[in-house]
């Protein structure tokens, strides 16, 4: 997982090219999913570990967690609890990243499409409709 740092531009050849600078967030391997138990093999990783007081004692939570498909070689090299950091992407010049947008709910015409709406006087209450 990565966090977006900033947008900038760099010279490539004789032109500016827009680039996004990202930072690899340290991720801890929480557990592995196995073919016998879960039906597929994957690593579950979490970022920003924190301890939370629960009714039955301390509980560990992560700000964000995700699953990644892995092979048996990866499982042999990385134990549960080990931290994955920038060393995984050393020597990589270009990565493909997919981001998720948070939901915005129902917007309405004025906010979503900048429609002018109706006047706000003369006794009607539908000012933000088309």
pLDDT band for 130, please (50, 70, 90 cuts).
low
Answer yes or no: is 67 within a domain: yes
Domain that holds residue 35: 2-92
Does residue 118 lie within any of the structural domains? Answer: no
Is 57 within a domain?
Answer: yes
Global pTM value: 0.60
Q: Average pLDDT of 21-41?
A: 90
Return the closest-CA partner of residue 42 out of 32, 55, 50. 32
- pLDDT tens track for 53-92: 877 788 888 888 889 899 888 888 889 988 988 887 788 8
Cα–Cα distances in Å, from 14 out to 9, 10, 89, 118, 124? 13, 10, 28, 51, 59
| Residue 104 within any structural domain of the chain | no
For residue 50, tell me if it sits in a domain. Answer: yes
pLDDT higher than threshold 70 for residue 9: yes
Torsion over CA: 88, 67, 70, 4 (sign): negative
How many structural domains does the chain have? Answer: 1
Q: Is 109 within a domain?
A: no
Mean of pLDDT over the chain: 85
Q: Report how far residue 55's alpha carbon sits from residue 50's, in angstroms, rounded to the nearest whole number.
A: 16
Domain assignment present for residue 49? The answer is yes
pLDDT tens digit sequence for 93-116: 777 777 777 788 888 878 888 888
Residue 10 lies in a domain: yes
């Amino acid at each position: 997982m990565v966090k977006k740092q900033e947008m900038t531009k760099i010279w490539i050849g004789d032109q500016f090219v827009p680039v996004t600078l990202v930072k690899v967030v340290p991720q801890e391997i929480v557990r592995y999913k196995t073919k016998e138990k879960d039906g597929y093999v994957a690593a579950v990783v979490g970022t920003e570990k924190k301890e939370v007081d629960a009714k039955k004692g301390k509980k560990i939570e992560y700000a964000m967690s995700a699953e990644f498909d892995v092979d048996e070689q990866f499982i042999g090299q990385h134990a549960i609890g080990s931290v994955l950091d920038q060393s995984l992407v050393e020597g990589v010049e270009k990565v493909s990243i997919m981001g998720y947008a948070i939901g915005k709910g129902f917007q309405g015409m004025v906010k979503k499409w900048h429609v002018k709406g109706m006047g706000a006087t003369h006794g009607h209450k539908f000012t933000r409709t088309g």
